Amino acid sequence: MSNLLYRLGRSAATRPWVAIGAWVVLALVVVTSSVTLGRDLEESFEAPGLDSHRAAELLDEAQADEGGITAHVVLEAPDAAAQLAPVEAALSELPHVLGTSSTVSPDRDIALVRVRYPAIEHLGKADLDNLKDAVTELLAESSLTLETGGDLFFAFEEAPTGLGEVAGIVVAMIVLLIAFGSFVAMGLPIGLALFGLVVGVTSMKLVTYVVDVPAWAPQLAAMVGLGVGIDYALFLVTRHREHLALGMPVAEAVGRAMATAGQAVIFAGGTVVVAILGLLVAGIPFVTGGGVAISAMVLVMVLASVTLLPALLGLAGHRINGRRRTQHRPSTGWYRWGAHVTRNATAYLVGGAALMVALAAPVLALDLGFPDDGTKPGSRTERRAYDLIADGFGPGANGPLVIAIDISQDGAVVAPLAEAVAADPGITSVGEPTIDPGAGVATMVAQPTTSPQDEATQETVARLRSDVFPRVLDDSSATAHVGGQTATFADLGARVQERMLRFVAAVLLLSFLLLTSLFRSVLVPLKAVVLNLLSVGAAYGVLVMVFQWGWAAGLIGVESTVPIVSFIPLFMFAILFGLSMDYEVFLLSRVREEYRRHGDTTRAVIEGIAGTGRTITAAALIMVAVFSGFVLGSDPVVKMMGVGLATAIFLDATVVRLVLVPATMKVLGDANWWLPRWLDRLLPELDPALVEKPVEVAAGRPPLAS
């Protein structure tokens, strides 16, 4: 592969406008096709096979209003009931509104209007905008206090974006400028990543022809794509500049960079794609669609790095070094650090492992759920509406349970079932059941005594399914199912816990096989898998400490403790495991190169750190900056992803990559490269690095390999 990449890099650098023109044409085709042929992204969080999904299917069959989504408009005023009529009239006239219903609190100071909409696939952000405009007009015409929230906001309210991404790019520019000392060298990785984002994000609507892509996938894909795009270009530009410093012609330096660092980019990106595509085994459609979309983004970044970047490097020529021609020197600081760690390998191995295990320990208390509007800052209308509803009607009014009953064979069970549900200690009230004889479906809405994110609410849902329903329906052919947003997210959490082990095992196995083929070793990939598990575990532990236990939560704008969103552990594991492998591949590729030169493992480790330490640190700083930018948002879900990803990358690039990896390799010695002969024969030969012989500066073209 190294020879193929060498020829590809030289060709692109020699004829840059061919590669650039091809990418421009590709970008135009993707953008045009997306605009004209692209399908809408999905807003659904459904997962077939769950009890809540069966409830949704029954509600859809009956075309029941409860099968759609709702918005809440809350009034606070003395004698609020007297103010309801004009509010309900204005809201009922909005497009797509099926109807409204209202309730007044016992003290008559708070009134709740529920605005019913059809299923989410029939709606769009315009419906949320229409609701906001109607409320604004009502406020202008009266002295009422009106707050809004509900499912419609959850589906279509977009958290403020842009600030985090801009902050990440600004930090990346500063880091690259310091690392390279050249505006051209700084601009290439940034430009490549932004160009890749355009192609990757616009392709999402075309990916929907293969799999349904959730509406939030482009934001997450952009976060990952921006990080890996800059990182991959950073590693390639760094190696290219090293070769220029040896006196190689520009095209030769580009070819060499592609053959060495380019191969590392391909396998690092391949590992990220493999890890993220492991989400396929989770069995949750919207998770699968998100994984495919993110993988497509990473693939675009890899292809751009090894085809478009060489052309840009060829055009830049020696201007990439700025005004001064750089002389390639190994980093003496990182060289000393590598030597220090290897001299004290056992102490660093024990200390580093203890630190990572301590950070990962809180994962044992991981509580999966979904933060409700009560976790949002008080500046948000959803939070104020949530508090008013809880004050006026009880905390469970913010997350009612929708019970769908299949009565096609037995309609007499509705009344006794309603009585049994109302008698449950976790239920405060049950609305009047509605019956659709034609569809054979009955529907009732039950209000829990506890809030949507309260663990007691999940226990109530489980008790209805396992105790109340079987007791009443034991001798009947009717079946009952609990649906609604609260039950749906509880079911998703249970599905994640059920599939997590299978998913982790699949990702670990595939990554191990890929790295074994790459490095021709058993212990090196095994060590990588174990250490990357520590990084991910530590990130989970930090999430528990910050969001569940509230440690330093106020510093990032989290006002109350919240459970970890059910699907975040899946995405975090896939993304973090893949990104951690990036640094592993870049470092160990360099170590492997040096080892193949002289056969001394300790020396190879020190030289590998000296050659990549500064670059890996710069890459990690960029990643941490990009991910930390998302902590600036107001949504706890976005904050969780930002905190988890930034923490894991920081720990992986410092404690793991620069402490535990060299310490472990020193302890293992030559055993690092052990590979049974029978396994060596089975594995494909991937030629992990192009190894160069020492050459005199400008002494002619050096040989490609030893």
47 lies in some domain: no
Percent of the chain with pLDDT over 70: 93
Going by pLDDT thresholds of 50, 70 and 90, the confidence category of residue 528 is: confident
Please tell me the distance from the alpha carbon of residue 356 to that of residue 225, in angstroms, as a whole number.
Answer: 27
* Number of neighbours of residue 174 by Cβ within 10 angstroms: 14
661 lies in some domain: yes
Structure tokens at 643: 């905190």
> 88 with 103, same domain?
yes
Burial of 132 (0-12, 13-18, 19+ CB in 10 A): middle
Whether the per-residue pLDDT at 288 is higher than 70: the answer is yes
Question: If we measure between CA atoms, which residue out of 227, 208, 312 comes closest to residue 268?
Answer: 227
Please tell me the distance from the alpha carbon of residue 566 to that of residue 422, in angstroms, as a whole number.
Answer: 28
Structure tokens at 600: 């001394």
Contact 448, 401 (CB under 8 A): yes
**Coil/strand/helix, residue 106:** coil
Q: Which amino acid is at 266?
A: I
Mean pLDDT of 149-159: 78
Tens digits of residue pLDDT in 4-15: 889 999 999 999
480 lies in some domain: no
How far CA 93 is from CA of 157, 428, 693, in Å, comes to 21, 32, 78
> 163 with 152, same domain?
no
Structure tokens at 578: 């893949």
- Dihedral sign for Cα 509, 512, 518, 522, please: negative
Structure tokens at 557: 């704008």
> 510 with 549, same domain?
yes
525 lies in some domain: yes
541 lies in some domain: yes
pLDDT confidence of residue 701:
39
Burial of 301 (0-12, 13-18, 19+ CB in 10 A): buried
Tens digits of residue pLDDT in 644-656: 888 988 998 889 9
**Coil/strand/helix, residue 427:** strand
DSSP character at residue 697 = T
Q: Which amino acid is at 570?
A: L
Please tell me the distance from the alpha carbon of residue 344 to that of residue 663, in angstroms, as a whole number.
Answer: 8
> 495 with 545, same domain?
yes
Residue-range definition of the domain harbouring residue 26: 2-37+159-370+490-682
pLDDT confidence of residue 473:
92
Structure tokens at 537: 């575990």
Whether the per-residue pLDDT at 289 is higher than 50: the answer is yes
pLDDT confidence of residue 369:
78
Most trustworthy range by pLDDT among 441-455, 627-641, 692-706: 441-455
* Number of neighbours of residue 548 by Cβ within 10 angstroms: 18
Tens digits of residue pLDDT in 501-516: 888 888 888 878 878 8
DSSP character at residue 701 = P
CATH number of the domain bearing residue 85: 3.30.70
> 148 with 209, same domain?
no
> 640 with 498, same domain?
yes
144 lies in some domain: yes
pLDDT confidence of residue 247:
87
Going by pLDDT thresholds of 50, 70 and 90, the confidence category of residue 690 is: very low
Helices (H), 142-283: 151-156, 163-180, 183-202, 204-207, 217-245, 250-257, 263-277
Q: Which amino acid is at 9?
A: G
Whether the per-residue pLDDT at 324 is higher than 80: the answer is no
Whether the per-residue pLDDT at 174 is higher than 60: the answer is yes
DSSP character at residue 660 = I
> 312 with 175, same domain?
yes
391 lies in some domain: no
> 141 with 176, same domain?
no
* Antiparallel, parallel or unpaired: β 99-104 and 434-436: unpaired
HSE-up of residue 340 (Cα within 13 Å, Cβ side)? 9
Tens digits of residue pLDDT in 658-688: 899 999 999 999 899 898 988 888 877 665 4
Chain Cα centroid distance, residue 105: 41
Percent of the chain with pLDDT over 90: 36
Q: Which is more confident, 316 or 694?
A: 316
**Coil/strand/helix, residue 436:** strand
* Number of neighbours of residue 171 by Cβ within 10 angstroms: 17
Going by pLDDT thresholds of 50, 70 and 90, the confidence category of residue 45 is: confident
> 150 with 164, same domain?
no
Contact 594, 603 (CB under 8 A): yes
pLDDT confidence of residue 66:
60
How far CA 55 is from CA of 158, 440, 639, in Å, comes to 28, 13, 31
CATH number of the domain bearing residue 565: 1.20.1640.10
Please tell me the distance from the alpha carbon of residue 295 to that of residue 303, in angstroms, as a whole number.
Answer: 12
- Indicate the pTM of the whole model: 0.79
Three-state SS across 504-551? HHHHHHHHHHHHHHHHCCCHHHHHHHHHHHHHHHHHHHHHHHHHHCCC
Q: Which is more confident, 9 or 220?
A: 9
User: DSSP labels for 25-77?
Assistant: HHHHHHHHHHHHHPPPPB-----TTSHHHHHHHHHHHHT-GGGS-EEEEEEES
Contact 323, 180 (CB under 8 A): no
Span of 215-224, 392-401, 536-545 with lowest mean pLDDT: 215-224
pLDDT confidence of residue 578:
74
> 137 with 191, same domain?
no
Structure tokens at 49: 């096979």
Final residue before a domain boundary, out of 156, 171, 204: 156
Contact 256, 265 (CB under 8 A): no
pLDDT confidence of residue 697:
35
Average pLDDT taken over every residue of the chain: 85
Contact 399, 448 (CB under 8 A): yes
pLDDT confidence of residue 577:
77
φ and ψ of 562, to 5 deg: -140, 150
Degrees, nearest 5: CA angle 425-431-432: 130
Mean pLDDT of 176-190: 85
DSSP character at residue 214 = B
Mean pLDDT of 270-287: 82
Question: If we measure between CA atoms, which residue out of 242, 312, 229 comes closest to residue 272?
Answer: 229
Whether the per-residue pLDDT at 699 is higher than 60: the answer is no
Span of 279-288, 323-332, 417-426, 611-620 with lowest mean pLDDT: 323-332
Structure tokens at 223: 């976060």
> 10 with 145, same domain?
no
User: DSSP labels for 440-452?
Assistant: TEEEEEEEESS-T
Question: If we measure between CA atoms, which residue out of 69, 88, 102, 66 comes closest to residue 392?
Answer: 102
Tens digits of residue pLDDT in 61-103: 776 656 678 898 999 888 888 888 889 999 999 999 988 888 8
209 lies in some domain: yes
pLDDT confidence of residue 159:
57
pLDDT confidence of residue 456:
92
Please tell me the distance from the alpha carbon of residue 542 to that of residue 538, in angstroms, as a whole number.
Answer: 6
Domain count, the chain: 2
Instruction: Give the alpha-carbon dihedral of 573, 574, 577, 583, to 10 degrees.
Output: -140
Whether the per-residue pLDDT at 329 is higher than 70: the answer is no
Going by pLDDT thresholds of 50, 70 and 90, the confidence category of residue 30 is: very high
Contact 652, 644 (CB under 8 A): no
> 515 with 589, same domain?
yes
Please tell me the distance from the alpha carbon of residue 105 to that of residue 259, in angstroms, as a whole number.
Answer: 71
Q: Which is more confident, 151 or 206?
A: 206
Chain Cα centroid distance, residue 477: 43
pLDDT confidence of residue 634:
67
